[in-house]
C-alpha cells in the first residue's frame, strides 16, 4: 500500500501516531490539516515528507486560487512545517515551480515527486542489498534505527527497503531494531513493518545498541537520513551518532541509505543544519528537558552512503 497519496481530491495518509494499535487513514483537504499532520508526525520520514510537501502545494493551489498573498503564505507554511528534513521544502518548491501553470500542473508535478520516490526506493533496495552482502558476507545481521520502511517512503523504504530485499533474496540472518526515543518509531513503526513482512526481529533499547555491536550481535548498522550534507555529514534521528560510534569501535560497517533527494549539496556540513527540538512535553511533564529530534553523524564515521543512483564509499575517500 502507498502510505501517502493523492486520493479523490485530498492527501490520504497512514496516521503513524496510531500504529501499531490501529491502521488508521487521515484525509487532509486543506493546507492547515496537512501541516498539522506533518508537525504531529502523523506523516514522517524524509521521502514521505517530500511527497507531503509537494501535495501540500497542490492543496494550496486549489484552496487559495486567486489569492496570491494567501497562496504564498500557505506554501511557506508547508515548507517550514519541520525544518531539519531537506525533502519537505525541496518537494514543496518543486511543485511550487509549477504554480504559474495552474492547479492541474502543480498536482501533476506533485504526483511526479511521489513516483520518483517510489522508483528511488526500488533502486536503493538493490544497491544497498548488493553492498551489504559485499561488506558482510553471505548472510548479514543488521541493526537499524528509527523507521525507514514504506511508512517513511510511500512504499518500500530506504534502509528498511534494503532489509526487505535481503529477505527476498533469502540471505537476511537477523534484525535488531532500536526502539528510538522519544517517540519509539523503531519499537512502534519498524517493528510493525517487519512483522507485516514476516521478518523475525528483536527490539533493543537505544543505549544497548553500541554494546550489542561490541558483543558481535550485528554485522552492520543500516539506517536512513533526513539530510546528507555536502561533506557527508548525516542528519538523522537522534541516537544515530551513538550507533555510528559503536559501529566504528566494533569494526562493523555503518551504511546510510537515502535517496538523492536527501543529499543537500547546498549545506556544507552538519554544523549548518537547524536541529529541530520537539519540546519537553514528549519526554517529561514534571521537569525541564532538552529533546533534539535529530543528531549529526560526522562523515568520517560513515562507511558508505547508498542512494538510488550510486554507492559512495566514504571509507575509501570518495566524495559526494
Q: Enumerate the active-site residues.
A: 226
Task: Give the sheet arrangement for strand 227-229, strand by strand.
Answer: 263-264, 227-229, 234-237, 294-297
How buried is 197 (Cβ within 10 angstroms: 0-12 exposed, 13-18 middle, 19+ buried)? middle
Place of cell 530506504: 158
CB 215 within 8 A of CB 303: no
How buried is 29 (Cβ within 10 angstroms: 0-12 exposed, 13-18 middle, 19+ buried)? middle
Cα–Cα distance measured from residue 60 to residue 70, given in angstroms and rounded to the nearest whole number:
9
How many beta carbons lie within 10 A of that of residue 242, not counting itself? 17
**Residue 28 three-state SS:** strand
Q: At what angle do helices 103-136 and 159-169 cross, to 10 degrees?
A: 60
Rounding to the nearest 10 degrees, give the CA dihedral for residues 153, 158, 159, 162.
Answer: 120
Of 149, 142, 130, the closest CA to residue 193 belongs to 149
What is 7-35 written as a DSSP string? ETTEEEEE-TTTTTT---EEEE-SHHHHH
**Residue 62 three-state SS:** helix
Cα–Cα distance measured from residue 176 to residue 178, given in angstroms and rounded to the nearest whole number:
6
Cα–Cα distance measured from residue 276 to residue 224, given in angstroms and rounded to the nearest whole number:
17
Cα–Cα distance measured from residue 259 to residue 307, given in angstroms and rounded to the nearest whole number:
5
Amino acid at each position: 500500500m502507498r502510505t501517502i497519496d493523492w486520493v479523490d481530491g485530498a492527501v490520504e495518509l497512514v496516521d503513524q501516531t496510531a500504529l501499531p494499535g490501529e491502521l488508521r487513514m487521515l484525509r487532509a483537504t486543506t493546507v492547515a490539516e496537512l501541516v498539522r499532520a506533518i508537525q504531529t508526525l502523523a506523516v514522517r520520514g524524509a521521502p514521505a515528507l517530500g511527497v507531503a510537501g509537494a501535495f501540500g502545494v497542490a492543496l494550496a493551489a486549489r484552496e487559495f486560487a486567486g489569492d496570491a498573498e494567501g497562496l504564498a503564505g500557505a506554501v511557506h507554511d508547508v515548507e517550514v512545517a519541520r525544518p531539519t528534513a531537506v525533502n519537505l521544502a525541496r518537494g514543496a518548491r518543486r511543485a511550487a515551480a509549477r504554480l504559474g501553470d495552474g492547479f492541474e500542473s502543480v498536482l501533476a508535478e506533485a504526483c511526479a515527486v511521489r513516483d520518483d520516490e517510489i522508483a528511488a526506493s526500488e533502486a536503493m533496495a538493490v544497491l544497498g542489498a548488493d553492498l551489504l552482502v559485499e561488506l558482510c558476507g553471505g548472510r548479514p545481521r543488521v541493526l537499524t534505527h528509527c523507521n525507514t520502511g514504506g511508512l517513511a517512503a510511500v512504499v518500500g523504504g530506504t534502509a528498511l527497503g534494503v532489509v526487505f530485499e535481503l529477505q527476498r533474496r533469502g540471505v537476511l540472518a537477523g534484525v535488531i531494531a532500536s526502539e528510538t526515543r522519544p517517540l519509539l518509531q523503531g519499537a512502534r513503526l519498524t517493528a510493525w513493518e517487519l512483522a507485516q513482512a514476516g521478518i523475525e526481529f528483536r527490539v533493543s533499547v537505544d543505549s544497548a545498541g553500541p554494546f550489542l555491536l561490541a558483543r558481535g550481535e550485528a554485522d552492520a548498522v543500516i539506517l536512513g537520513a533526513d539530510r546528507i550534507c555536502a561533506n557527508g555529514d548525516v542528519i538523522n534521528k537522534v541516537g544515530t551518532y551513538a550507533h555510528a560510534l559503536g559501529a566504528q569501535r566494533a569494526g562493523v560497517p555503518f551504511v546510510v541509505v537515502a535517496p538523492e533527494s536527501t543529499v543537500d549539496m547546498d549545506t556544507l556540513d552538519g554544523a549548518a543544519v537547524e536541529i529541530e527540538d520537539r519540546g519537553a512535553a514528549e519526554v517529561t511533564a514534571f521537569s525541564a528537558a532538552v529533546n533534539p529530534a535529530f543528531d549529526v553523524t560526522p562523515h568520517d564515521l560513515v562507511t558508505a552512503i547508498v542512494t538510488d543512483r550510486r554507492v559512495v564509499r566514504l571509507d575509501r575517500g570518495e566524495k559526494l
